[in-house]
Structure 1
Amino acid sequence: MTKNLTNVLFFIISILVIVFALYLYNKTGTTADSTHNRNFSIDSDENIVLLELSKKNEEPIRLKQNKSGTWMINDNYTANNIAINDLIRILKNLYIKHPVPIENREIISNNLKENGVKINVFARRYIISIAGLKVIPYRTKIKSFYVGQDDYDAAGTIMQIEGASFPYIVHIPGIDGGISRHFSSNYYEWRDPVVFKLQQSEINSIKVVVNDNSEESFIFYNKNGNFQLSEQNGKTLTGYSLDTMKVQRLLTAFNDLYFEKLLYGEELSKVKEVLNTQSPSYIITVEDSNSKITKIEVYSKMITEKEKEELGITTDVDPNLFYLVVNEKEYSLARYFVFSRILRPLSFYVKKSD
């Protein structure tokens, strides 16, 4: 009798333990995943040197730090360092808020792998690292996970580590809102907006073509640190003196010229159709001291009647924004107040000598 009672009690206790374990599983979702599969954050001392972001069946965007410390996109273009530093800061501060509901885990997990952004994180480590001595560097992948949409109340973002059983809602403590926007696989959103960042000594020549008046076009040449002015055909101008202060403002302007927004997709297609019916107002070609040539074309941006009303103007041309084409292949929106110092005709810089 005693033995039977003991067996019954053991059975009841076992059932209670199982029920309690299932309760904890449903509540926390931690029993099925190891700590590794729940640890999204990167150690703060990791030296991240490569980030790969991609969607299924897409070529990844590779954000890579080169030997000089500059971040590049696919080894071709300079990346936006501010955006990358923001992403790295986020990667080092990710914490689980709670698992997704058990009844939706499979659907959400499958959707993540089909439509989410996968990020691979690589760090530089050293084979020998003793007391500050670091020898023989190598690059290794330290984290790989999927990023989905922000959850319904924007209190976190759906994420799942590669190989894990199910996703979690992940957030940054102390920061409201989701963070999915920081994990874009869109190349255009990672481009550095800088068009020119040249010191005066790095400029070989500046050629400015004013399309509606060829007599206002000109070229500045750097001759051993002294800039000489010539007409568009290369003939040296005579009978004129330069306004040196205005010329100096032109030369220093090339140290910080950047666009507002890179155009792509359907918006780019529409803009190209419009620009095909126009001619650029200015064409500016700059050769730097490394013989690199950058050409920009400036096109007016037309505005609607409603926009004219809102701005309180009568002209059809946007007074703030224009279309900028760089090297005949990259289209963007730019602001006049950023570029105004270089959008000047010849007569602005010279005056007739007495």
Structure 2
Amino acid sequence: MNRTLLLLALVLLLGGVAWFATRSSATPVDGSAERTFGYPDTDRIHRIFIADREGNQATLERGGPTGWRYNGHPANENAMKNLLQAVGQVSVQRLPTSKEIPNLIRNLAGGGILVQLFDQDGNKLRGYYVGGGTNGELGTAAITEGSDNPYVVHLPMWSGNLRHRFNLRGDEWRSKVLYAVDPDRVEYLSIEYPRQQDKGFRLQRGPDDEFQLYPHQASRQAPRPVAAGIAEGVLSRYENYYISRYENSDTASIAAAHSRLPFAIIRLKEAGKSEQTVKVFPRYRFPDSPDQTLEAYTALINDDRDWALLAVETTQPLLIGYDSF
């Protein structure tokens, strides 16, 4: 019994000082409140704070092009959709048996994730810890702040471990949208191929929405007109383009990229927006062998602040050359 009480005490200290960064402390709750996890009025939720025992923290706030921001960046729309469904609908599935309680407490003490919801004025709406899945992954351990009693929670009409909706880390919370372009507002698109200069071009929109194609090598030949339908077909490839993932922790690859020529440099400018520059590098499956099988592309994006992995099948349609027109 003493061991059980000790483990329960650990639950209340899960995050240490880091979790008190929100400047809100756990307070005792009554029997009804300790069984209330979901907050159905998700429109009132303005900020969500998530932290784990390893020091990972995420602050998600309303705003930005996707409706939510993660630490100032546009948040991943799918991740936020799953998270809001969870915080809005999570409810007690069942009361744990007396035999289960020590295991649930160990579960929460060892790897609980703190979840706090706030309104626009900074008032806390909910606060609880989410643990791992129960046997069979049909429920999830959870306990409200200030409570001594763990519960098994779930999403009605959904089966699985809820923890996965809360334990994204770092850039996993960020939007994967690289291009969300309106073709009718594009002022120019240029692609430079540093090792194949004759393939580079600049597609420029004129004052009457006519398009001119300029070779990257200015001395090669004069610019020529491009039919609007052809130009719009090329620009439409930039309407919805997603990276595969961020790889900002791969510092060795980032340093290597800064020391070599990119395969391609894409510059795109929309009216009213800054030029967007993407430097693309091939990634080979066996880079140190004669077998140069292309595995993926990587790219420096967001003014070289981010290193991203790009899929071959979605990137190659972007990498056209002057002779494609």
TM-score, normalised with respect to structure 2: 0.77
Deviations 1:256-288 (A, max 9, x none): 1111222244xx246447646753211112222
Find the aligned partners of 2:297 and 2:180 in 1 and give their Cα distance: 20
Residue 270 of structure 2 is aligned to residue 294 of structure 1: no
- Residue 146 of structure 2 corresponds to 163
198-207 or 157-166, which deviates more: 198-207
The 3 A distance-change label for structure 1 pair 192 and 328 is same
CA apart distance, 1:143: 0.5
Residue 75 of structure 2 is aligned to residue 93 of structure 1: no
Higher strand fraction: Structure 1 or Structure 2? 1
Deviations 1:58-83 (A, max 9, x none): 473222112887211122x2112222
Find the aligned partners of 1:340 and 1:115 in 2 and give their Cα distance: 42
Match of 1:341 among 295, 317, 322: 317
Amino acid at match of 1:251: L
Residue 35 of structure 2 is aligned to residue 38 of structure 1: yes
Find the aligned partners of 1:188 and 1:338 in 2 and give their Cα distance: 21
321-330 or 241-250, which deviates more: 241-250
CA contact (8 A) 1:109 1:160 kept: no
Residue 191 of structure 2 is aligned to residue 191 of structure 1: no
Deviations 1:112-170 (A, max 9, x none): 3664221111245xxxxxxxxxxxxx453210111122224212112111111132221
The 3 A distance-change label for structure 1 pair 323 and 121 is same
Amino acid at match of 2:267: T
The 3 A distance-change label for structure 1 pair 45 and 149 is closer
Report the aligned-residue RMSD: 3.3
Secondary structure of 1:211's match? coil
Structure 1 vs Structure 2: percent identity of aligned residues? Answer: 16
Q: Counterparts in 2 of 1:173-322, with a 5 A limit?
A: 173-224=156-207, 225-232=209-216, 238=222, 240-242=224-226, 244-265=228-249, 268-269=250-251, 271-272=253-254, 275=257, 279-304=261-286, 316-318=292-294, 321-322=296-297
- Residue 4 of structure 2 corresponds to none
Deviations 1:28-80 (A, max 9, x none): xxxx96110111111347532221112247473222112887211122x2112
Secondary structure of 1:90's match? helix
- Residue 328 of structure 1 corresponds to 304
Find the aligned partners of 2:200 and 2:223 in 1 and give their Cα distance: 17
Find the aligned partners of 1:98 and 1:337 in 2 and give their Cα distance: 46
Amino acid at match of 2:210: N
- Rg (Cα) greater in structure: 1
CA contact (8 A) 1:283 1:296 kept: yes
Moved beyond 4 Å, runs of 4+ = 99-111, 233-237, 273-278
Amino acid at match of 1:73: Y
Q: Which runs of 5+ in 1 are unaligned?
A: 1-31, 125-137, 306-313, 350-354
CA apart distance, 1:209: 0.8
Find the aligned partners of 1:69 and 1:255 in 2 and give their Cα distance: 15
TM-score, normalised with respect to structure 1: 0.71
Secondary structure of 2:233's match? helix
Deviations 1:216-249 (A, max 9, x none): 2222233333333334377895164536543222
The 3 A distance-change label for structure 1 pair 45 and 118 is closer
CA contact (8 A) 1:322 1:333 kept: yes
CA contact (8 A) 1:116 1:148 kept: yes
Q: Which runs of 5+ in 2 are unaligned?
A: 1-28
Amino acid at match of 1:279: L
Find the aligned partners of 1:44 and 1:214 in 2 and give their Cα distance: 56
Deviations 1:71-112 (A, max 9, x none): 11122x211222212211122221223345656757854763
Find the aligned partners of 2:219 and 2:146 in 1 and give their Cα distance: 68
- Residue 113 of structure 2 corresponds to 117
CA apart distance, 1:317: 2.3
CA apart distance, 1:199: 0.7
Find the aligned partners of 2:64 and 2:176 in 1 and give their Cα distance: 21
CA contact (8 A) 1:53 1:62 kept: yes
- Residue 310 of structure 1 corresponds to none
Find the aligned partners of 2:220 and 2:123 in 1 and give their Cα distance: 58
Match of 2:76 among 80, 89, 102: 80
CA contact (8 A) 2:213 2:223 kept: no
- Residue 352 of structure 1 corresponds to none
Q: How many residues matched?
A: 294
Find the aligned partners of 1:162 and 1:197 in 2 and give their Cα distance: 41
